[in-house]
Amino acid sequence: MQFIAKSILRLSVLLFPAFSMAQSTYLPQGNKHQPFLDRLEIKLQNNTGLNVSTLKPLSRRLAVSAAEYADSIQRSGTNLLSPIDQYNLRGLLLNNSEWATDTTGFASKHPLWNTFYETPANLIQVDTKDFFLAVNPVFQGQIGAESDGGDRPFVNTKGVTFRGMIAKKLGFSGYFTDNQERGPLFVQQRVLDYDAVPGVGFYKRYKGTGNDYIDARGSINFTAAKYLEFQFGYDKNFIGNGYRSLFLSDFGNSYLFLKINTRIWKLDYMNLFMELVPQTVYISAGDKILDRKYTAMHHLSMQVTRWLNVGIFEAVTFGRKNHFDFLYLNPIIFLRASEQQAGSGDNAIIGLDLKANVAKRFQFYGQLMLDEFKLSEVTGGNGWWANKFGLQVGGKYIDAFGAKNLDLQGEINMVRPFSYSHFDSVANYTHYNQPLAHPLGANFIEAIGIVRYQPLPRLTTSARLIFWKQGTDTADSNVGTNIFMLNTTRKYDYGYTLPNGPRSTGINAQLLASYEVKENLFIDGSILIRRLTSTVTPDRNTSLFSLGVRVNMFRREYDY
């Protein structure tokens, strides 16, 4: 990956003077504007800019462009947006003012010492010819009470985030936080089981049952030759339209990556090259240099009709002793052919996804992931172990039953045993002891229901229910759940069902209310109930009540 890093920097130097166009940084993970953008995509139905995008994070420029287009429709007399939608639209423009065409009314009435918060969205904002910079503090304080007793759960995060542009040609962004956290007991158990804190990398133990870690992310980006967007950095990506992704999620740790996105006509084509950390032990010791492995991904998205988008996905995860295989720099889709030409047994995954916006009220979406597939074995119905695939089906319904800003979402995910695993522990579909896709790994069926209601401009409420059934690996049996285990350790080749082996049943339910006191300052209150029953392990039941305040960041969630 060092070769890629040096190459992109050289490339930027060569392309920047002559070919760089207006570019944009990206909305951060879990940003408050995403629900509004989801609504906007459905309401507009045939907006190519939003429809063709199945990759997250989303470009700030694209988000502002779609919002201003919706605003122009509203101003023409069409009743497209509710009053709360209009409030959310203004908030999106205010927080991305570098791309807004009209910033009237964005200035603060009483900036602090005429220096800080000159606009309500940014602590420090510099907007002059050829240079834009926004700097903001990041904070989250969350305290909880758990029915299981023990040490009190909490989250303590403080840091800084910034973004900027130079001559609207070169963009940069950064996010840095210092964190101390003690999750509920089921999260503490997961940390012990995987030697990894969900969503982050290196950590240290904190006061016995807590964790101390730094979350640092950043990237540079520019647009070359009008249609090519380059981003190089250390962060996360997400592919899909659902709550989960079977291709690539943002559940795990950040990673070094180079992303090349080509958008032209009705096509959006992504190349993503990632440097990852293979499965390792004592990852929190901090006294060793970790090995590396690599993944190359392609995703081609096409707007087939004005309301239907279809995408093709592929990824190859491979392990060479700490060096990148340059064969996988091939920018053309269908890496499987390259992988076969190399005579290697690397871990290849392909997939198909789609989304359809219907009647300006509904969105239907899905993903089909194929890790390994043999039609004769599927039709044979014998439960062959290597029929490794996953399926996602979901839908969104906005302004449900005529109630403004009441949105519903339902989603079903299922992944066959042994999916994402490999006969080589380096090439499994993981990073830093965490799955790259679904947090449950494999061998499960999951149903998700979400109700989101914004009754007031500053108040958002939601209810989320996650239900799953999953097989359970035991000390002497690999039934296909743990994607870190070599799939060669299976005991038999046929007879695998879904879910397979001893079963566990889980429920994770949450009620949440968030109130935005001032721009990007939230007070959160939530109740979480989790139940897990198993035929081979003790039941784990807990209830968690938490209160918190956060500034300029996403809320820490325990949705697994």
Q: What is the CATH number of the domain that holds 303?
A: 2.40.160.130
pLDDT at 214 over 80: yes
Q: Rounded to an integer, what distance in angstroms lies between the CA atom of residue 3 and that of residue 331? A: 16
Q: How many helices (H) and strands (E) does the chain have?
A: 8, 25
Do the beta carbons of residue 114 and residue 152 sit within 8 Å? Answer: no
Total domains present in the chain: 1
pTM of the model: 0.94
Q: How many CA atoms lie within 13 A of 22 on its CB side?
A: 7
pLDDT at 3 over 50: no
DSSP string, 257-320: EEEEEEEETTEEEEEEEEEE----SSTTS--SPPP-EEEEEEEEEEE-SSSEEEEEEEEEEE--
Look at residue 556 and tell me if it is in a domain.
no
Model confidence at 298, in pLDDT bands (50, 70, 90)?
A: very high
Look at residue 559 and tell me if it is in a domain.
no
Look at residue 121 and tell me if it is in a domain.
yes
Domain that holds residue 139: 2-551
Model confidence at 150, in pLDDT bands (50, 70, 90)?
A: confident
User: For the chain, percent helix, then strand, then coil, each to nearest 5?
Assistant: 15, 45, 40
DSSP class of 504:
E
Look at residue 383 and tell me if it is in a domain.
yes
Do the beta carbons of residue 354 and residue 383 sit within 8 Å? Answer: no
Tokens 């995703």 belong to which residue?
299
Tell me the Ramachandran region of residue 402: left when phi exceeds 0, alpha when psi lies from -120 to 50, beta otherwise: left
The pLDDT of 257-285, averaged and rounded, is 89
pLDDT tens digits along 507-537: 999 999 999 999 999 999 999 999 999 988 8
Distances (CA, A) of 493 to 376, 478, 480: 15, 12, 11
Look at residue 247 and tell me if it is in a domain.
yes
Look at residue 532 and tell me if it is in a domain.
yes
Q: Rounded to an integer, what distance in angstroms lies between the CA atom of residue 140 and that of residue 554? A: 9
Model confidence at 331, in pLDDT bands (50, 70, 90)?
A: confident
pLDDT tens digits along 350-360: 999 999 999 99
pLDDT at 342 over 70: no
CA angle 395, 398, 401 (to 5 degrees): 105
Look at residue 560 and tell me if it is in a domain.
no
Look at residue 558 and tell me if it is in a domain.
no
Residues 6 or more apart in contact with residue 110 via CB below 8 angstroms: none
